[in-house]
Structure 1
């Protein structure tokens, strides 16, 4: 009985501490950043994303509704259970009011489920899976930056139009890679092309030789790289070393600025890619990039710029709502038109998708590049609807048909 009483008292103490944390939450705004800090996507957002959050907080004035703003960071290690557990932990014990991050689609789906459970806004950035605002949508998740549909509508459609009709995919073997391949395959087939084969590759693979031999044996015109981060860099480097890029056109379905830096312009030149933001796009993006560079000593990636924008957007919604209550903040987010260093005239649709322009880019040759980070030239600007499709076509059950 004494042991039972001790357990009961301990349980009551834990409940009281949790309740105390929850009661303390209204006294501050707490932004959580749960992201890949050390794995294959670590360079894409990582520490630079944390700096972007802090830049946005400083630009907003350092507080909102008279409350201080705290930032929590964690590495999810590309494991959905870790990302979801950390989300719930911070919601229960740290008074978290908003979360950014993901990078990995599987992790983001798990965190999105936690966001629904805790009624806390979650900005999924870096994760591409379109199911986040499709069948898996919920009222508390905002997909901010890009998704697999936009990537396919940009890169795959452009390459098919140029004559790349037969494709072989090297695909990251988890939710993101599979959906990216599926969306690109739909575009290829709709354009009169065909998919002659594919191979699934574990996340974090360093040796792509056996997979490239399969691609080479397929006789396909296009090598569809349905991966990202270090996996993309390693696969493209290996394809170049194999001489495969001379007989097959590589299709870079998701590429970041840091990836191009990793492989070098000599290898990456001529690649067609789709991006949601580029540091040298216009005066607005260059001004933000200069400030970021002064702090981080490199140009920002598209998701890092999105971290800045999402933080500002969230704080603006809190100010407009007069509260950090998740439902009221989400209502304000859906009313907003977003104009900042990341996007112009951006809106958040009922399915949670940030609708904004997307850009088809081509990687410059070494001779065309004028500096260390001068990598892209603009091929075409796609409207948000052209890139993401119509809201009426969304598979999200929140969308009234």
Structure 2
């Protein structure tokens, strides 16, 4: 074979090989696309199933389960159904990071929703922003909204401490007195609640007599009460969460604290109130993002309550059940609106989500993706005033929110 014939044959062989390779590549790509389009939509859900916040974690899982069911019953996304991948973060930031990495890298989660701790959610958010995966947090935090921790993939479905504590301060200080003592869980959540309350209270003439800190997971508060009684405040403001709050309230009641001063909590927990009953909680005032009693005036709340009770054997949803529902419901609704699970297309669709889903109008602020929403001021009912064991709160007021009551975007570190 002469040189020219060899070159011609070689070119033909290379063209044939290239064509075959291209077809193979096209076939593989097409197969991958078909698989991706038919694969379940996986929602990773790291929450503390064990630890001091386990009751709240169980509540958010119940709410998330309803969101998954509704999405699937409505046909999913072009036939693609959703799956909820629940993982135990053990109320530990490192454990949460490990579980989130596994959810994304191993389980191929399309979205991450969850966390019931201010510190833990920052760990989850750090993983998701590195991997450019949407994270819709359902735990109170101010820090997650700040530019140094935020990313375009970060959404905050929950109220933040600035919103919650500020609303309670604006209600309580003019009505109950200005001399206050804080009893504070000494970690991000408690510290942020105090800051939010002080920011609002300062303009109302509030006088802070002391901010008494306790470790997360405290089981004996009796050593704090003599000092609190000696200070003689008008109000004891309890800034803690989960089992910490249950124990603090029970021991404060046993110690006779309520006879000497009013007790309030910027965030008054449903789960603890359901467990510990009327005597421990009666008369305590606080804030919450949701209470099922809204159904008396809000059709969306009635629909949500009825669907939740049907799925969970007559159980009424708590505030954190509502967050689990909204957190998952909204990422799935955004995927449906975008027509895809592609992150870059779902982000603007999720940012555009707004309307009355279960508690009145809610929308995400543009700069930080904070859900702008109402705060309910509630008072724990006594036994005589409760119709049943789930009738626990009286709604005293609703503070509607707009962006003017949030920390400004520039304050959070975002540039105009």
Query: Which of the five TM-score ranges fits, normalised by the shorter chain?
Result: 0.7 to 0.9
Equivalent residue for 1:15?
none
Q: So what's the TM-score if we normalise by structure 2?
A: 0.84
Q: What SS does structure 1 have at the residue aligned with 2:361?
A: coil
Mapped partners of 1:211, 1:138: distance in 2:
40
The alpha carbon displacement at 1:24 in A equals: 6.5
1:321 aligns with 2:332: no
Deviation at 1:186, TM superposition (A): 2.2
1:161 offset after TM fit, Å?
A: 0.8
- Structure 2 distance, partners of 1:390, 1:281, is 24
Q: Is 1:88 the counterpart of 2:104 in the alignment?
A: no
Instruction: Give the conservation status (yes or no) of the 8 Å contact 2:129–2:153.
Output: yes
Q: Which residue does 2:43 correspond to in 1?
A: 31
**2:304 alignment partner in structure 1:** 288
Q: For the Cα contact (< 8 Å) 2:291–2:319, is it kept in 1?
A: yes
Structure 2 residue corresponding to 1:99, chosen from 100, 112, 123 = 112
Alpha carbons 1:22, 1:93 under 8 Å: kept:
no
Matched, 1:245 2:261: no
RMSD between superposed Cα atoms in Å: 2.3
Partners of 1:258 and 1:213 in 2: CA distance: 28
Query: Which residue in the other structure is 1:167 paired with?
Result: 180
Per the alignment, residue 362 of structure 2 pairs with 346
Give the whole-Å Cα distance in 1 for the aligned partners of 2:349 and 2:157.
16
Q: 1:118 aligns with which of 131, 142, 146?
A: 131
Superposition map of 1:39-50 within 5 A:
39-46=51-58, 48-50=59-61
Q: Is the 8 A contact 1:272 1:362 kept in 2?
A: yes
Kept in 2: contact 1:229–1:255 (CA 8 A): no
Alpha-carbon distance in 2 for matches of 1:173, 1:392? 26
Task: Kindly state the Cα deviation for residue 236 of structure 1 after the two structures are TM-superposed.
Answer: 0.7
Which residue, 326, 332, 340 being the options, matches 2:349? 332
Unaligned 5+ segments in structure 1 are 1-20
2:69 corresponds to: 58
Q: Deviations over 1:67-106 (max 9, x none)?
A: 2322211111111111112111211111111111111100
Distance in 2 between residues matched to 1:254 and 1:344, nearest whole Å: 19
Where structure 2 has 5 or more consecutive residues not aligned to the other structure, the ranges are: 1-31
Partner residue of 1:306 out of 312, 323, 329: 323
Give 2:20's aligned residue: none
Equivalent residues in 2 for 1:115-194, closer than 5 Å = 115-125=128-138, 127-135=139-147, 136-194=149-207
Contact 2:93 2:119 in 1 (8 A): yes
Is 1:396 the counterpart of 2:409 in the alignment? no
- 2:176/2:262 contact within 8 Å kept: no
Give the distance between the partners of 2:199 and 2:407, measured in 1 at CA.
19
The equivalent position to 1:274 in structure 2, one of 287, 297, 310, is 287
Contact 2:165/2:267 (<8 A) preserved: no
